[in-house]
Amino acid sequence: MIEVKLHDVGEGMTEGEIAHYLVQVGDHVTTDQPVVEVATDKMVAELPAPVSGIVKEIIIPVGQTVQVGTTLLHIEASNASEVSRVSEPAPVAVAAPPAQASPSKRVLATPYTRKLARDHGIDIEAVTASDPSGRVSEDDVLRFVQATTAPQETATPIIEEVTYQETSPETIPFRGIRKQIAKKMTQSLYTIPHVTHFEEVDMTRLLALRAEWKPAGRNINVNAFFIKALIVALKDYPVFHAKLDEANACIRLERDFHFGMATETPDGLMVPVIRHADRLSLTELHDQLISLQQRAQNGALRAADLKPSTFTMSNVGPLGSTGATPIINYPETALIAFHKTKKRACVDEDDQIVVRSMMNLSMSFDHRVADGATAVAFTNRFVSLIEHPTTLLLELI
């Protein structure tokens, strides 16, 4: 008894749905006669009978999806020689002239290629395979059709097809920190309805202030100014410094300012935290920012550095970014990202064209907790403090 199994029809399939049987139990079939149609996500293919004989049993019903290798039906072979040909392992093929091929030779070809040959009235055993394995392809059949139907005087020479060896893709492990990052990002994106608001900031005055302080040995990291301005804005708009507690139907406004600093490390994205940032001076913030950055790059972050934050910021400007839609650090309600600062021609209040150092920012927030107008008001407050750093310094007194 010969088993007709679902096999890969050349599309890299792993499973298929039984669409239609072309025979019934008791029917006599011949070798290569289509017996069943199988639907994949790419095509509908006919599977041929491997031998001549009688259909004895149909095992899998129409409409059922099965894996490659599943037996679909049984055929009782009418010729013992065909049984041994199908059941014995195929030896390594040695090329031989087509004229010496045996009439019972089993040509390697997909069901679709066999159907293409039948539709053109071609004996597939007469088609020469271009593939070194001896498998006849669709292009082989079409070239054969063209060669046999075109006038001899206008027939063009068949260009031998160049084949390339397929290479397997390289794999990298998906585990550890990378897997945890994926888990956290998925949780945030599938839980929080994200909205991203974009704004631009004139950094000219702040950069001039930093340049003025630098000769005096006060080279303050720009992120320290951002944190101080954010703390002022968050006190004015505390809904962005909060966590949504759905279980108790309330929004919890945070009182302690623990700033998460999204940081790229050799192991992936990490968020070390500056705790009680509102109690630190600009110089102290600068020192902690430098220390956290160094420990993150050296893989020396401590457990205390990775405790939960209340608000997260990301400065990707040094990497060259001009904009993004950041994913919120769940369960926080907002995340702000700062992008590349570059000189642009702007029009001032006197309608004069001036060169200013402009930076883009993007802030994603939880639309369940806050609305767009509140987000605009929040970023306007932040922008005003950065564009007028003397006002920011007055807020810190």
**Do residues 19 and 44 touch, judged by C-beta distance below 8 A?**
yes
Instruction: Delineate the domains of the chain, giving CATH numbers in brackets.
Output: 2-90+99-154 (2.40.50.100), 176-395 (3.30.559.10)
pLDDT at 96: 40
In tens, the pLDDT along 352-375 reads: 999 999 999 999 999 999 999 999
| Edge-first strand listing for the sheet containing 34-39 | 44-48, 34-39, 15-21, 65-67
Which of 7, 197, 367, 388 is flagged as catalytic? 367
367 in catalytic set: yes
| Alpha helix ranges (H) inside the chain | 80-87, 111-119, 138-149, 176-191, 204-213, 222-236, 282-297, 372-387, 389-395
Report strand pairing: 353-366 vs 194-202.
antiparallel
In tens, the pLDDT along 141-185 reads: 888 888 887 555 555 667 777 888 888 899 988 877 788 889 999
pLDDT < 70 stretches in the chain: 9-12, 40-44, 81-106, 133, 150-157
pLDDT at 198: 97
pLDDT at 43: 59
CA atoms within 13 A on the CB side of 140: 24
Burial 37-51 (b: 16+ CB within 10 A, else e): bbebeeeebbbbbbb
- Between helix 222-236 and helix 372-387 the angle, nearest 10°, is 140
pLDDT at 129: 85
